Amino acid sequence: MNLQQIIRPNILALAPYSCARDEFKGEASVYVDANENPYNNGINRYPDPRQLKVKELLAPLKGVAVEQIFLGNGSDEAIDLVYRIFCRPGVDNVVAPAPTYGMYQVCAEVNDVEYRAVPLQAETFALDVEALAAKVDANTKVIWVCSPNNPSGNAYSQEQLISIVQRFPDQIVVVDEAYIDFSAIPSMTSQLDKFDNLIVLQTFSKAWGCAAMRLGIAMASAKIISFFNNVKYPYNVNELTQNQAIKVLNDVKRKERHVEEILSQREILRELLLTLPCVKKIYPSDANFLLVKVSDANGTYKYLQSKGIIVRNRNKVQLCENCLRITVGTPEENAELFEAMKAL
């Protein structure tokens, strides 16, 4: 891939903001460079703009180099940066399957980039690669693929994802793996050294149990990541988040235990819900949620809300008529949901 051709000219030419802490490595005795308050309360200094300690723990876990990692304020920041780095407003376009995670389209609209949605196949939610290809033209900069997909829950095979990355060598293919820890399908991070048009997104918000922390991950070639670093806000990940990330990364076993528990609860919840007459179908899930077709999604949604149970109503979403997206909760939460639906 010729990065000179795909990166926006103004971003290629950008002289990024340089903070004093970028220019100096190591420990000094006096820091009077950044107009901070000198009195130590644990958070009076600016955080590490490159989040090196977090990345040093993350890199071996993900099998990538530190230079191949961007960390942002949730993966939503990475999604927005993809537009700002690659897509010329009012000129370029992106292609994405539908239905999928809504922020790809919102960020396209914010950045004045045309969003070309291509329906997944009805009922199976399989990718229609020929239909995707038909929407790609000379101004297509990015192809979004969410796997496992939100809201359908299915993951695409690694062979299929690789074939997409290979088929569109002049586009950036972003594979959003927010839910990958819940899937048996391996991560596309193993392909990063083979394909320089691939970006893989992951997050601390799901399996790691840290949605409030706001920490998202983009992994790609070191060259692509250097553009993320140039465009991001200098101190985009705060110190509290970095410290908490270091803590959770030192306890991988905890995450693994939670994933195991959620996976077993997912199957228990599926079996329970399938016994209910109002449940018409539950789609296969590689994620921590179930897409559940009911006889009346709007009615069930309102009823559950009146009982203090909040699910996601996907009734208006393409191919998801009468569907609710239900996140797998604790055993107690799942039981409360089931009992409420049983009484409907």
Ligand X SMILES: Cc1ncc(COP(=O)(O)O)c(C=O)c1O
Binding region for ligand X (CB under 6 A): 74-76, 101, 146, 150, 176, 178, 203, 205, 211, 216
Residue among 237, 162, 228, 161 nearest 204 (CA): 237
Nearer to ligand X, 216 or 341 (CB): 216
Nearer to ligand X, 111 or 205 (CB): 205
The least distance separating ligand X from the CB of residue 33, rounded to whole angstroms, comes to: 32
Nearer to ligand X, 49 or 74 (CB): 74
Residue nearest to ligand X (CB): 74
Residue among 161, 171, 221 nearest 1 (CA): 171
Using the structure block, give the residue that is written with the tokens 């961007």: 70
Provide the residue type at 179 as one letter. Answer: Y
The least distance separating ligand X from the CB of residue 66, rounded to whole angstroms, comes to: 20
Using the structure block, give the residue that is written with the tokens 């903070």: 19
The least distance separating ligand X from the CB of residue 293, rounded to whole angstroms, comes to: 20
What sign has the CA pseudo-torsion 280, 283, 289, 291? negative
Nearer to ligand X, 188 or 341 (CB): 188
The least distance separating ligand X from the CB of residue 211, rounded to whole angstroms, comes to: 6
Contacts of 80 (CB under 8 A, 6+ apart): 107, 110, 111
Beta-sheet strands, E only, within 183-339:
198-203, 216-219, 279-282, 289-294, 312-313, 323-327
CA 80-86-91 angle, to 5 degrees, is 100
Q: Specify which residues 34 forms β-bridges with.
A: none
Nearer to ligand X, 49 or 148 (CB): 148
The least distance separating ligand X from the CB of residue 74, rounded to whole angstroms, comes to: 3
Provide the residue type at 184 as one letter. Answer: A
SS3 at position 195: coil
The least distance separating ligand X from the CB of residue 96, rounded to whole angstroms, comes to: 11
Nearer to ligand X, 14 or 57 (CB): 57
Q: Are 215 and 204 in contact (CB under 8 A)?
A: yes
The least distance separating ligand X from the CB of residue 99, rounded to whole angstroms, comes to: 11
The least distance separating ligand X from the CB of residue 178, rounded to whole angstroms, comes to: 4
Q: What is the DSSP letter of 226?
A: H
- Alpha-carbon gap, residue 70 to 233, rounded angstroms: 12
In angstroms, what CA-CA distances link 16 with 26, 35, 51, 230, 337?
A: 22, 20, 17, 5, 50
> Edge to edge, what strands does the sheet with 279-282 contain?
279-282, 289-294, 323-327, 312-313
Contacts of 158 (CB under 8 A, 6+ apart): 185, 186, 188, 191
Nearer to ligand X, 175 or 282 (CB): 175
The least distance separating ligand X from the CB of residue 104, rounded to whole angstroms, comes to: 9
